[in-house]
Amino acid sequence: MENINFESLRKLMISNRTVRRFKGDAPVSKEILEKLVELTRYCPSGRNAQPLKYYMVNSEEQRNEVFPLLKWAGYFTDWDGPEENERPGAYLIQCLDTYYGENCLCDDGLQLEAITLGMHTLGLAGCIIKAFNHVKLAEVLGIDPRFSPRYVLAIGYPAEEVVIEDMDCDDDADFKYFRTPDGRHHVPKRPINTLLLD
């Protein structure tokens, strides 16, 4: 088995950040999307049912149809999402194949992490979106009712810097992400000593 350095993995995890502003003139090819989805084949799967499927969106027409159906940043109440020249170059719509049941157990998060890590190695970044118009999205893209959209993953070449901030140890510490006047996106993270229970 190939030796994988723990510190390299740690650095990859640290740098794999959510991005909401992209280089809007850089579409993402279907070949790249297929490579990313292929990574999910190797993820653990509850019951090994592997019930998740992906709808690829990379044409300009479909991207324009999907964009207004998304909610981008709940903590930025005065921001409706990226400007036209900062929109993603593609989307992956993660869908549950209800033929295999109504519960994907832990599969959705595992697969999204695998995809975003793969994206990062290719110079891409993304935003995992749960708040979207499920009914309209399925209608616009012609998704069969058998496949229930769970998440939209916006994908593109990043056009913003994201910085991790250490949170206070206090239970009431503010965990909301924020932007500073220089446009940098800051994400508070709880310190390790608050994650371990004695």
How confident is the prediction for the chain on average, in pLDDT?
Answer: 96
What is the rounded distance in angstroms from the CA atom of residue 128 to the CA atom of residue 16?
12
What is the rounded distance in angstroms from the CA atom of residue 42 to the CA atom of residue 111?
9
pLDDT digits (tens, 9 = 90+) for 96-117: 999 999 999 999 999 999 999 9
What is the rounded distance in angstroms from the CA atom of residue 141 to the CA atom of residue 49?
25
What was the pLDDT predicted at 148?
98
CATH class of 16-160: alpha beta
Contact 40, 115 (CB under 8 A): yes
Q: Once rounded to an integer, what is the mean pLDDT over residues 115-141?
A: 98
Domain spans of the chain?
16-160, 161-198
CATH code, 161-198:
2.20.180.10
DSSP state of 182: T
Element (H, E) at 33: helix 30-38
Angle made by CA atoms 106, 107, 112, in degrees to the nearest 5: 115
